Structure 1
């Protein structure tokens, strides 16, 4: 596949396998808005950008996955939860638990060691703590992104890694595009997406 074709496939696989629940989609919509705010603030107020990115955008996103997304057999896609976890290109739930554990532990380490194990300049006061914490969380986020991208270079190929890297950075834009109607469906009482858009495309592709 060409780059854009693989990007489209990764996006669709992510949507159809991991975003059935409308509340999860709605939380992703809010999360995407927070991430876009972080993108802008990163050049103006990096501390606020990281705090919004981790404490709002990331938490809302993961609440949707961990608490609202069904873990039972997926009748729409005819796939078990275990199968979907095994083929997940990015961070599946097990990998996310590891990443989030590192994120939670980081403030504790920084509280007892203001240099973060010698990696940062010591700063005093609450403002100094928050500044170093934002640097730490920024490093964790970027590190997780780079680590998985390089890992994908070896297990799936250079293009797949670059595609996933691009997908993650552009997910906020794409989430707003495909999930902006989630509040409307929730108010209608439609709590699960039947993925009809995906299967319409699939049938068209098969006929062509």
Structure 2
């Protein structure tokens, strides 16, 4: 009798685990479908675009914006303990710049920026008071002086935005890392599911940051031309 009850209890427990597993799988599949549409509302800003699915949390988008090739890469922040993790957007302009080096500016560094390669640059430099106070800046090669004045002027108000996390300028172009949103607190605290508060990138929001990146690349190009 006891053995039968024990067996029944185990069966009920296993059935409960199976139901929970199936429910969790269904929830995660729904989240994946919603993440797949992150670019649905903003593709209109590009003259042409295409999606790529590398097998990560989000698809990538490659497009042409004002004659420049652009790559958009959403990244969920899985690193470090936070009550509400962040969803970042990496905006890369593929534009050849006749620079003799690269500069990486990281704002409000917390030593958990998994998306940053700033530590690969050999020399740390210090920015002036016109830049946000809490920052890290590095250049490569050592001794190279980046066009910081032109960069700061081109960034304008975006340069002090709490959403702007990183700026990289190199001979290959411009890269910005911008915070799009946090994740839904209830889903994260209960299910540890990272469903972002913003499911689709707004077209005007994206256009703003694309214009910032474009202005930055143009200012650097002009500064190089004047210095030549």
TM-score band by shorter chain is under 0.3
TM-score, normalised via structure 2 length: 0.25
User: Of Structure 1 and Structure 2, which has the larger fraction of its residues in helix?
Assistant: 1
TM-score, normalised via structure 1 length: 0.27
User: Of Structure 1 and Structure 2, which has the larger fraction of its residues in strand?
Assistant: 2
Q: Which structure has the larger Rg over C-alpha atoms?
A: 2
